Amino acid sequence: MAAELQKRDPKTVVSFAGTVSGIESTEVPRLGYRIHLLPSKGLKRGRSLRDLIDNIGILTGFVSTVLQSMKLIRRENPDVVVGTGGFVSAPVLLAAQLMGRRTLIQEQNAFPGLTTRLLSRMATEVHLSFEESRRFFGNRKQLFVTGNPARSFPPMDSAEARRRFRLDPSLPTLLVFGGSRGARSINNGVLGFVPDLDGKVNLIWQTGSLDYERVRAALPETRTVWVAPYIEEMGPAYAAADLVVCRAGASTLAELTNLGKPSILVPYPYAAADHQKHNAMAMVRAGAALMIEDSAFGGQGTLRTVLDTLGNRELLDRMGKAGRQEGHPGAASELAARIISLSKH
C-alpha cells in the first residue's frame, strides 16, 4: 500500500508504527520508511491464573501505549491512519479514533482478528480479503472486499520456467514451501514420499534455512528435484508449478489466487485464533484448494492426494479458475485510491 501511494504521489509521506520484537523493526527501515516503535503485546489466550494475571498487566500497558500513540498522532498529524490487524494496530487505531482521525482497517484473514472486530465500529472504512468475512460485521456500512495487497509476477511459460530449475519440462511439477525458515512438518512429510515422485513429478522445494542441510543430506539422487533453503525468484517457481503445497498465510493465498494456482494447504496449527485454518477452509469452500491438517501431512493418503491431484488436469484447471475468482490483483491500487480519497475529506 505504501509503495502504491508513493507511486501515485511521490510527495506522500508514509510512516509506520510497530514493536521492537516484530519483523517490522528491521524490514521497514530496510525498505526506506520511518518506523515508530511502541511497547505492545497480544493478550494471552489461555484461561489459567497465570494467563489472567499476565493479561491484566498487558491491558494496563495497553492504556499507556494508547496515550503514547496519541502523542505520536499529534506529532505526525496524519490525514489517514491505516491498521492491518494484530495487537500493534490496536492502540494506534484506537488513539486515532478517539482523536477523530480518519481510519481505514485492512483485514487480511478470513476470520477477522480481535482488533478488527472491536475497532471496526468506529473505523471510517473496513476492507476485507475474503467475501465470507462479511458475516462478522452485520449491516455495517463502508465495508468492502478489496483483497490482500500482494507481489505481482510477470507471466512466464511453464516449460521455460521448469528449464530454469533444470527440471524435465514435460513432467507435472509440484512446488513446496513453508516460509523463509521452513515448516518442519511439511518438510518431514515430503521427505517421506519424495522417492515415490522420482520420474513421475518434478519437485521445486524451498525447505527454509533450518532444515536445508538435513533435507539435502537425506535426498536420494534424482534429476527431478530442485531444493534450496530459499527461493529468490518466486515468479518462475509459480510459473513452473501445476500444484502448490504450502501454509495458509494471507499473503501466500493472495499470490495463489491472483495467479490461479491450485494448492494443497497445510495450515500452521499455532497461528493466532487458528486463523490459517479459517483461511484454508475459505479456499476449500471456494473450490480453489484442498486442505490437509498439519498433524496428518505426510501420513497415509498424502502421497495419493498429491499424485491424484497432479494427474487430474480437469481438477487442476477447475481449482485454478476458482482461485482466480477469489483473487484481487488490484488490491494495493484500490486501497491506495481509498486512502487518498479519505485524505481529501
> What pLDDT digit, counting tens, does each position of 231-256 carry?
989 999 999 999 999 999 999 999 99
What pLDDT does residue 312 have? 97
Q: How confident is the model at residue 107 (pLDDT cuts 50, 70, 90)?
A: very high
Residue 60 pLDDT > 90: no
| Position 49 pLDDT exceeds 60 | no
| pLDDT higher than 80, residue 41 | no
Instruction: Name the 3-class secondary structure at 145.
Output: strand
The helix (run of H) or strand (run of E) holding residue 246 is strand 243-246
User: How does DSSP classify residue 263?
Assistant: E
Low-confidence winner among 47-56, 100-109, 270-279, 280-289 (lowest mean pLDDT)? 47-56
Say yes or no to pLDDT of 45 above 60: no
Task: State the chain's maximal CA–CA distance in angstroms.
Answer: 64
- Examine the pLDDT at 135 and tell me if it is beyond 90: yes
Alpha-carbon span 24 to 177, nearest angstrom: 22
Per-residue confidence band for 13, with pLDDT thresholds at 50, 70 and 90: very high
Banded model confidence at residue 42, pLDDT cuts 50, 70, 90: low
- Average confidence (pLDDT) over 65-87: 92
Share of the chain above pLDDT 90, in %: 77
d(CA 223, CA 3): 40
- Alpha-carbon span 343 to 329, nearest angstrom: 24
pLDDT band at 40 (very low <50, low <70, confident <90, very high): low
Grid cell for residue 194: 519424495
| pLDDT higher than 90, residue 58 | no
Q: Are 312 and 245 in contact (CB under 8 A)?
A: no
- Mean pLDDT, residues 167-179 taken together: 94
The answer to whether residue 50 scores a pLDDT higher than 70 is no
Joined together, the cell numbers standing for residue 316 give: 487442476
Q: Residue 224: CA atoms inside 13 Å, Cβ hemisphere, count? A: 18
Q: How far apart are CA 30 and CA 333, in angstroms?
A: 23
More confident residue, 139 or 15: 15
State the pLDDT at residue 52: 58
pLDDT of residue 127: 97
Q: 56 pLDDT exceeds 80? A: no
Give the pLDDT band of residue 166 (cuts 50, 70, 90).
very high
